Amino acid sequence: MKPRITPTQQQVRFQADELIISKTDLSGRITYVNRVFMQVCNYAEDALLGVQHNIVRHPDMPRGVFRLMWDTLKSGHEFFGIVKNMTADGHYYWVFANITIDQRNKQPVGYFSVRRQAPQNAIDAVSTLYHKMNEIEQTAGAANGPEASLQWLQAQLLQQGVTYEKFVLDLYRQATNRTGEMAI
């Protein structure tokens, strides 16, 4: 069961060259975390293994983004996103996430996620969108909220001529200089 944590306004950052890595089974239960993951989110390994990955979900994250993530993964594609997570202390951290399907013998067995510190330009760009998505979800209710907010997001991005994936990848690339280092 996900612990009840009161969010704070304190941001946690990690180094641009550090990677947060985790693996889950097909239902989203954590099967592996690296040390950076544990250090950033301030959970011990035994508090993470076997629990739903949403243990680090921040309440500011619209459920519509996770609907898009699951739809993308279930269609057999990898997912890229900008995600606000929460630590065991209620602090928050932003990540640029890449989630892929973990396969054995060409059969999906779970998911593999690699996350980097999200660049500030990406955080700024998605924060306004995510705030509006949360408003839509509150108005539409628990059952219809994720789909309603996702439809709104996709309509906004369609006006710009991009998909969510292209939008977040472009934001990430804009923050990366010629040497491959991220400008935060």
For 88-112, write each residue's pLDDT tens digit: 999 999 999 999 999 999 999 999 9
| Domains along the chain with CATH numbers | 20-174 (3.30.450.20)
Q: At what angle do helices 120-140 and 164-174 cross, to 10 degrees?
A: 150
**Residue 114, pLDDT above cutoff 90:** yes
Alpha helix locations (H) across 63-114?
A: 63-74
**Residue 102 to residue 160: CA distance in whole angstroms:** 32
The overall pTM is greater than 0.95: no
CA dihedral 19, 75, 61, 52 (to 10 degrees): -70
pLDDT at 175: 86
Angle at 171 between CA 112 and CA 63, to 5 degrees: 55
Q: What is the largest CA-CA distance in the chain?
A: 46
CA-CA distance, 94 to 165, in Å (whole number)? Answer: 17
184, pLDDT greater than 70: no
E strand segments, 10-157: 20-25, 30-33, 79-86, 92-104, 107-117
**What is residue 177's predicted lDDT score, i.e. its pLDDT?**
54
pLDDT > 70 fraction of the chain, expressed in percent and rounded: 94
b/e string for 25-54 if b means 16 or more Cβ within 10 A? Answer: eeeeebbebeebbbebbebeeebbeebebe
- Residue 1: pLDDT above 60? no
